[in-house]
Amino acid sequence: MTLLDPQMQAFVAQTLQHYPVHGAVTNVIQQRQCYRDMYRSFAASKPTRVLIKDEQVKGPDGHLIPIRHYQPQGISSPKMLSYPVQVVYLHGGGFVVGDLDSHDDLCAEMADICGFNLVSVAYRLAPEHQYPCDISDCLALVDHLIHRGKAIILVGDSAGATLAACVANARSSYTGTQLLGQVLIYPALANDASTSSMHEHAHAPLLTKEEMTFYHDIRVGGSKATAPIQDPLYCPMHAQSFEGLPPSHLFPAQIDPLFDDCELYAQALKIAGVAVKNHTQVGYGLVHGYLRARHMSDKAGANFQHICATVSALGRGLS
C-alpha cells in the first residue's frame, strides 16, 4: 500500500470491505454477490441527458444477448468516413462477474462526455458458459452494428479489454472503414505468468497473480491445460499477425500484475506498423479496477477523463 496515495488507499479499503479475507476467488456465487455489493457502493448518479434503453441481439447460436444503449441527448455526434460513430463497451470481471448494471454509471458518463452513442453487452459468463461463448456474444453485437452501418470504437476494461482486443483481431478487415480504434483499460493481453509485473505485483491490492490463474482456468473448464493454443479469439497476443489492427490505446494500472501486458502488446503492434500508444504515466499510482475510483481519486478521475478524450479523438478522426 506504500505506493498508493490516501485517496487510492481509501478506494482499496472500500472495495475490500465487501469481500471475505479468505476464499474470495473460490466460490463463484459468493463472488458475484460480493461484486454486486461492491459496485453498488461506488455507483454514481447518471447524467440525465443520456437516454438509456435495453435491447437484445440474437447470436448465431440463437442465444439472445442483452445489450444496453446509451444515447446522449442534445449532442450532434460527428461522422467518420460516412459512418455514424458507435462506442462498444465490454465490461470487466474476470469472465465470471459483471453485467449490464455493473458498469452502468460508467457507460452513461462516457457516452455523455464523449458525445457518442454507446452500447454495452452482457456476454455469457463462466463457469456456466465456457469459452468461446463470451467472445461469440461480443462478435455478434459488433457484427450487428457493422451490418447496420456503424463505425465502431472498441472499449473494454480488464477481461472486457481482453475481449475487445480479440474482437479487433477477428474484425481487423474493417480497420479504416468501420473499425476506428480500440481503447484497452488494464487489459489481460498476453496470458503470461512470467512477466516482471506478475512477479512484482503478484499480491497487488485488487488483483493477484493467483486470481488471474483462477480466471484463466475457470473460463476453459477449470484447467489451463484445456485452453486453446494460439487462438486469437482466446488471447489477443495469440494472433499470428497484428498487421491491420486499428489505432490502439492502452491504459495500464501501475500496481497491477497485468501492467507489463500493455507494453508487450504495444511493442508487437509497433513492429506490425500499427499506430499504438501505451498511456503508462496516467496509470501511475493506480490499481486494477481504478475506474470505480474516478469520483474519489484525483488520479483515477484524471485517467478517466484522459480515456474519454482518447475515445472522442478516435471518433473524430484525430487519433
**Residue 158 falls in the annotated catalytic set:** yes
CB-neighbour burial class of residue 221 (10 A; exposed 0-12, middle 13-18, buried 19+): middle
Rounded-to-integer distance, Cα 133 and Cα 59, Å: 10
- Is-catalytic flag, 172? no
In the three-class reduction of DSSP (H, G, I as helix; E, B as strand; rest coil), residue 84 is classed as: strand
In whole angstroms, give the CA distance from residue 34 to residue 48. Answer: 28
| Residue environment code for 44-57, b if the CB has 16+ CB neighbours within 10 A, otherwise e | eebbeebebeeeeb
| Cβ atoms of 308 and 114 closer than 8 Å | yes
Return the exposure string of 87-100: e unless at least 16 CB atoms fall within 10 Å of the residue's CB, then b. bbbbbbbbbbbbbb
| Helical H segments across 230-258, by residue range | none
Q: Which of 91, 201, 279, 288 is catalytic?
A: 288
Distance, CA of 313 to CA of 316 (rounded, Å): 5
Q: Where are the beta strands (DSSP E) in 138-198?
A: 151-157, 179-185
Q: Using DSSP bridges, classify how beta strands 79-80 and 151-157 pair: parallel, antiparallel or unpaired.
A: unpaired
Find the catalytic residue in 99, 112, 137, 256.
Answer: 256
Question: Which of 120, 158, 197, 312 is labelled catalytic?
Answer: 158
- Residues serving a catalytic function are 158, 256, 288
